[in-house]
Amino acid sequence: MRDQQNLFDPVPANRLSSLSHEDLLEFAILQQKVNEQMFREVKRLRALKEELEQKTFLVEDHYIVLKNKFFGKSSEKEKGKNDSPRPPGPKRRKVQLPSERYPDAPRIERHVEFQAAPDCRLCGTQLQDSGMTEDAEYLTVIPKQYIVVQQKRHKYRCEKCHASLVTAPSPPRVKEGSAYSDEMMVDVSMTKYCDLVPIDRYSKMAARSGLPGLPPQSLIECSHYVADFIEPAHELIKQETLSEKVLQADETPHRMLEGDDTSNWYLWGFSSQTSSYFEAHDTRSGDVASQFLAHSACEFLVSDVYSGYGKTVRDANEIRKIENSPSIKNIYCNAHARRKFKEAKDNFSNEARFFIDCYKEIYRLEGEATGPPEQILELRSQMVPFFEKMKEKSIELLPMYSTKSSIGKALGYLLRNFNELTEFITNPLLPIDNNRQERLLRNPVIGRKTWYGTHSKRGAETMAILFSVVETCKLNNVNPRDYLSCLIQDLHQGKSPYTPATFKNIGP
């Protein structure tokens, strides 16, 4: 060890002068070999150091992304110092009376009177009602009541020959012989799938309202009965969705708690402007969407850049080619592209800021792109320079960064999918992103987290049917409870099923 430490000590000049020419030559050769070894070792250590620094940087980058997902604000709206203030509009009149705020709400007029008219404070004479009133309004609520209905079907007999005895027919119901009325079945179903209240919580709420011991399992059966009964309307929603040229698609995991070998199921959603259709499957394979779209009228599929949707379009187009039907084109979501640059902003602020600012202007133009198709196309044409600048900047920056870094992923995402991200500019029917479909999946995701999953395949089918109805009603600004109640009554009367879009037009 001591010899190794002295290896690099300077050699005294008197010792070198005492060496022969051959010894000096041999010493120089050995010194050169040692230098070469040390140079290689230093080079190796430097490379190792750079590799470790890069790995550390990527880990920190990934940590920041995950931290923002868990603790960051959910809104993607970008606030800037130069945001122009909204132009002042007409001042709204402040509405204070509940009858003006809620004109359709039932009203009760309550008179407040003295039990015995008071005496005049001046002369002592008993006062008389003047007919004038001092009016005020307030909201109240009538707590939900659970009522037992005792149905008595009258029997009719022949008083002459006594040969016939006829019982009045029972009114039609969703489930004959059930202990629950149609109204309660609708209430249970909508409480879960519209208000996202778990069934066991519904049972506890009923107990607090004076009905203890309501079995949750029998209430779950109620939602199955409702879903089975309105299945024809669910099929119409599917056909309504398939008839559209532009469809949006997304999927979300769904937990199958029991009842199937596969626990990881998926809820697939497809939507148009007026319909939202869901199916539950035990796979995330693109075959699900291929089978759905193969014989549809769809020509543009808006989605995120999941490989399954690429496979969906390829497989569906093979079938459509045989049938001489128009092919489907993938259209990708700009919100996902923008989101990736926002994820890279913490570690690559300067680089990501350029793209975020460009997208800010693009979305500002999209917000103004309303009205006739010509106006939409004219405003969208102003987005082209921003997309071209982002493309040029991405080509310039991509070689400088690791493809595994957040900025590298964002740049690569934009370049690989540039055509699909910009197709909407020349077609006024196409949306800029897939946010509407993601919003339609919001309630199913919250519901999944609230009641954890389903316990059977039948439960998954019920979930798909009732969420299809609820979310389609929301798209058409229809009250899901009103639609479901009217639909069931009309089906009892032998009328044809209809979708929420049709219900909006014909009215209750």
Q: What is the pLDDT along the chain (508 residues), one digit of tens a residue?
A: 445 555 556 666 666 667 677 777 777 888 888 888 888 888 888 877 777 766 675 666 666 666 666 666 656 666 655 555 556 656 666 667 888 888 888 888 888 888 888 888 888 888 888 888 888 888 888 888 899 999 898 988 888 888 888 888 889 999 998 999 999 999 999 999 999 999 999 999 999 988 999 999 999 999 999 999 999 999 999 999 999 999 999 999 988 888 788 888 999 999 999 999 999 999 888 888 888 998 899 999 999 988 788 888 999 999 988 888 899 999 999 999 999 999 888 888 888 999 999 999 999 999 998 889 999 999 999 999 999 999 999 999 999 888 888 899 999 999 999 999 999 999 999 999 999 999 999 999 998 888 888 888 999 999 999 999 999 999 999 999 999 999 999 999 999 999 999 998 876 5
Q: What is the pLDDT of residue 38?
A: 85
**Residues 36-61: tens digit of each pLDDT:** 888 888 888 887 777 776 667 566 66
Residue 175: strand, helix, or coil: coil
Let me know if residue 423 belongs to a domain: yes
Note down the domain range covering 350.
334-432
- The answer to whether 298 and 244 have CB atoms below 8 angstroms apart is yes
Domain assignment of residue 221, yes or no = no
Nearest to 24 by CA among 16, 33, 32: 16
Residue 415 within any structural domain of the chain: yes
Q: pLDDT at position 23, please? A: 74
Q: Check: CB of residue 470 under 8 Å from CB of residue 194.
A: yes
CB 245 within 8 A of CB 445: no
Q: At what angle do helices 21-71 and 406-416 cross, to 10 degrees?
A: 70
Cross-strand bridge partners of residue 280: 267
Q: Is residue 404 part of a domain?
A: yes
239-254 confidence digits (pLDDT tens): 999 999 999 999 999 8
In a domain, 269, yes or no: no
361 within some domain: yes
Contacts of 471 (CB under 8 A, 6+ apart): 271, 276, 278, 440, 443
pLDDT of residue 204: 94
The DSSP result for 289-335, as a single string, is HHHHHTTSS--EEEE-S-HHHHHHHHHHHHHHHHTTPPPPEEEE-HH
| Cα–Cα distance for residue pair 160/157, rounded to 1 Å | 9
First vs last C-alpha separation in the chain: 96
Q: Is residue 244 part of a domain?
A: no
Tokens encoding 484: 């479901």
Which residue, among 291, 145, 279, 231, has the nearest Cα to 491 in the 3D structure?
231
417, 412, 416, 419: which is closest to 397 by C-alpha? 412
Tokens representing 203 are 């049972």
Distance CA 122, CA 377 (A): 79
What SS3 class is residue 119?
strand
Residue 500 parent element (H or E): helix 500-506
pLDDT at 219: 94
Is 506 part of a structural domain of the chain?
Answer: no
Structural domain count of the chain: 1
Of residues 318, 275, 327, 269, the one with CA closest to residue 298: 327
Q: Quick: pLDDT tens for 370-429.
A: 889 999 999 999 999 999 999 999 999 999 888 888 899 999 999 999 999 999 999 999
